[in-house]
Amino acid sequence: QVQLVESGGGLVQPGGSLELSCAASGFTLAGYSIGWFRQAPGKERDGVTCINTRATRFIDAVVGRFTIHRDNAKNTVYLQMNRLQPEDAAVYYCAAVKYAGLLCPLVPHEYDYWGQGTQVTVSS
């Protein structure tokens, strides 16, 4: 059974850091594009960053603050978020798709498998 499980969310003050994890089971992440998405209340689910075997992509709003990396031995992808701001607060989801393109996609409808999400709250 294919499953993605996010963890690492929580409450952090503005300027703080969090590391989210996306652990996969039932398949091997190494052959997939993995994306991180976020959804704030009343807003659409938006792409944040993604990674495949060739490259990573980031939206402009997180460049220089967020990084993504994968640990194939642990079948896990990590999202390191630094200098968090209130506008980063959302439920964060990871997603996976077997994708052979040069660039991983940053749109939700391109992804086949989703985790349940983890809440990130940024507040003083």
**pLDDT, tens digit, for every residue of 96-123?**
999 767 899 999 999 999 999 999 999 9
Nearest Cα residue to 120 out of 98, 93, 90: 90
pLDDT at residue 64, as a whole number: 97
pLDDT at residue 4, as a whole number: 97
**pLDDT, tens digit, for every residue of 5-41?**
999 999 999 999 999 999 999 999 888 999 999 999 9
**pLDDT, tens digit, for every residue of 46-96?**
999 999 988 899 999 999 999 999 999 999 999 999 999 999 999 999 999
Asked if the model's pLDDT at residue 1 lies above 90, the reply is no
